[in-house]
Amino acid sequence: MSDALDTATGAANAAPRKKGRRVQLDERYAAYKNVWVFIEHERGVLHPVSLELLGKGRTLADALGVELAGVIIGPPDEATRAFCTMAFHYGADLCYLVADGIFTHYRNQPYSSALIDLVNTFQPEILLLGATTQGRDLAGSVATTLLTGLTADCTGLEIDLEDRSLLSSRPTFGGSLMCTIVNLNTRPQMATARPRVFPVPEPDFSRQGQIIEHRLAMSEDEIVTKVLDFIPDKHADKPQLSFADFIVSGGRGIGSAENFELVFDLAYALGAEIGASRPVTYAGWVDAERQVGQSGKTVRPRLYIAAGISGAIQHRVGMEGADVTIAINNDANAPIFGFSNYALVGNALELLPALTVSFKKHLSALMAGNSPGEMAEVAV
């Protein structure tokens, strides 16, 4: 259903080029309007990707001059209703609420039915979901039932004001190219985006909105999947790279698993998470959970320190959302210096321990409550 119109360059945020578009929007979809964001939550906890999508959805809705709606499906309790309030604070004008006991646990069948029913009734032109386990499961079944196009794992979402179409960008051909996908003939235009690709917007706690309650005509007897028990993920303590504020990452330039201890040391000194490039996880120096990049995690920390990492596009797409990047590389022409805030040209095996010592001194001075003047002396 979607037409891949525009295969652009290897740049991470390639501007889409236009080619002839021959497909017209079917008249049945002429009335479809507004941007929707599916608000994901589980066991009373909101997934932060929903806030990120509300921020992006607000920009898209403003560009189109339409309203932004949150879609909340959940059990009939205060927590579910509170997600509507939160959606308003983060940019939604209205919320569609489907509350019923059958939504206590996420199950594809009732959630898909509810979302499809909402779409058919209220007709949005754009529907965004997180590229999470739940979002991917739901988006696929909703799009196939509605016979509409879905672009998965987007890294960029923009509006083409000429025909109001959603330009969904994502890496393609193994990450060597970026493509922009446009769904010209059906609605809604659906897309999923990975957590941490878009920033969380500043909340406005004075914002309010309208809640439109909807009922799903489905009973528990009609649902084939039953939840018998909830068993917490025994890996729940795995690295939470996507949500870390500070990350120290090492690449092939670190040389060996033994040398990688220097990355760990700096990370511990800073209270940071540990990341890595793909060759490092492939070599088994650290486990695969720590890989940053296209086939690993997307991160958006306040500080990203990249040591011995060249800055290949597949790594860059995973970390370019960092507020500040410090790159350490012994090659002054390494690509990573092209998109870093600070460049330390030198041997990482010498610079990492030097940074660890300096940061330790600096942080212990901070803890001891020294004045800024005294701290400047111990800073790097």
Distances (CA, A) of 319 to 159, 177, 217, 268, 330: 24, 17, 44, 20, 20
8 A C-beta contact, residue 216 and residue 113 = yes
Closest listed residue to residue 126, CA positions, set 79, 171, 59: 59
Cβ-count burial of 135 within 10 angstroms (0-12 exposed, 13-18 middle, 19+ buried)? buried
Q: Which stretch binds ligand FAD (CB under 6 A): 32-40, 151-159, 275-283, 368-376?
A: 275-283
Footprint (CB under 6 A) of ligand FAD, residues 309-348: 309-310, 312, 314-315, 318, 328-331, 334, 347-348
Q: Count the Cβ atoms, other than its own, within 10 Å of residue 259.
A: 17
User: Would you count residue 132 as binding ligand FAD (CB under 6 A)?
Assistant: no
Give the residue with the Cβ less far from ligand FAD, 174 or 232: 174
Asked if 295 touches ligand FAD (CB under 6 A), the answer is yes
Interatomic CA distance for residues 374 and 353, integer angstroms: 22
The whole-angstrom separation of Cα 190 and Cα 152 is 8
Output DSSP code: residue 302: S
Instruction: Give 294 or 356: the residue with its C-beta nearer to ligand FAD.
Output: 294
Q: Kindly report whether the peptide bond that precedes residue 188 is cis, defined as omega within 30 degrees of 0.
A: yes
**Token code pair at residue 235:** 């890996």
Q: Considering the complex, state which of residue 37 and residue 272 has its C-beta at the smaller distance from ligand FAD.
A: 272
The reply to whether 287 sits near ligand FAD by the rule CB under 6 A is no
Residue with tokens 């410090």: 326
Give the pair of three-digit tokens for residue 360: 């330790």
Number of residues that bind ligand FAD (CB under 6 A): 29
- Least distance from C-beta 21 to ligand FAD, angstroms? 29
From residue 226 to residue 255, what is the string marking binding to ligand FAD with x (rule CB under 6 A)? -------------------------xxx--
User: Is residue 308 a contact residue for ligand FAD (CB under 6 A)?
Assistant: yes
Binding mask 154-193 for ligand FAD (x = CB under 6 A): --------------------xx------------------
* Residue 278 within binding range of ligand FAD, rule CB under 6 A: yes
Interacting residue ranges for ligand FAD, rule: CB under 6 A: 174-175, 251-253, 277-279, 291-296, 308-310, 312, 314-315, 318, 328-331, 334, 347-349
